[in-house]
Amino acid sequence: MGASVSVAAVLRDLTESRAMDLEIVAGAHGLDRRITNPHPQKTGLALSGFDQYLREGRVLVFGESEVRFLESLAPAERTAVMRRVFSHPLPGLVVTDDLRPLPEIAIEADAAGVPLMRTRAAAPLAMARLSAALDAHLAPRGSVHGVLMDILGLGVLIVGESGIGKSECALDLVVRGHRLVADDAVDLRCRAESFVIGSCPELTRHHMEIRGLGLINVQDLFGVASTRRSKRVELVVQLERWDPSREYDRLGLDETFYETLGVRIPMIRMPVAPGRNLAILVEVAARNQLLRQGGHNAAERLVERLDEQLSSEADLEFGEDL
């Protein structure tokens, strides 16, 4: 069974965060209904007989056009329409634009046990905020063994086999002024089906395990500015033990990706060997990734300049031969 959240939980979150005002009008005994899809549905076709377009697990939204259409119907017809709509397994109905639901809607919502809610927000804003709140609950989730850092505003996930030096590298980065998000276990969740947010389990937040030192509290040692609660993962650095027989990328032209929760994230494989300062290398990798995101790729620019030079030299030689 996929992820789901009760209407009551979403209602509580929206109220506590003050993201959207929602007033329960009817169907309060159905607040334990489960929402399984983060995208609300707004289909006027359902009111004109095409109710097969209603999707299970999605909150239904009525804006001004739907309410005005229902007002144009006779009371008996309104009752029949709403009875047909509520025969579908809907988790709830939200009426927007501060419109007062018609009595027939409230009566049928109570009879079907479907929570009927009302908000002052306009339909587009209500759907956006409702979708954002649902996305936080229903987003695909996972976890990974590694360290997540905020380096110059870029979320860098450091992964690698146990004992390779991830935590020591992260501690060095904290000393250099960067911020720890999570050590050892990183909780991941996908947002908007396009990017991944990493955070730390509540129990181990602000803590790191350093072999020889044991557990340390980074916030206590370095201050509140040395940590943060969550960060988008924009670069993965995979630490690997140096293998003399392996060919490593020396120009930075090869693109590799780390795939998690259906999202591909740029990745760098970094060999670990005595004498290499990993913290500096990871920081430079983050700086380089920030430049790439801004459209500046040093390796590609160098290759382009080299190609131009070779092309110019070839043209000169060809001209001399003539």
* Residues identified as active-site: 145, 166, 184, 250
Residues 266, 119: Cα–Cα separation, whole Å:
41
3 state SS of 236: strand
Q: Which residues pair with 204 in a beta bridge?
A: none
* Residue type (1 letter), 113: G
Residues 39, 282: Cα–Cα separation, whole Å:
38
Alpha-carbon distance values, 132 to 40, 114, 193 (Å): 10, 22, 12
In a 10 Å sphere around its CB, with 0-12 CB exposed, 13-18 middle and 19+ buried, how is residue 271 labelled?
Answer: middle
| Residue given tokens 């990017």 in the structure block | 195
Tokens of 151: 């380096």
Tell me how crowded residue 119 is: count the other CB atoms within 10 A of its CB: 22
Q: Which residue, among 113, 122, 69, has the nearest Cα to 95 in the 3D structure?
A: 122
Q: Which residues pair with 23 in a beta bridge?
A: 118
Q: Which residues of 164-178 are buried (b: 16+ CB within 10 A; e: fewer)?
A: bbbbbbbbbbbeeeb
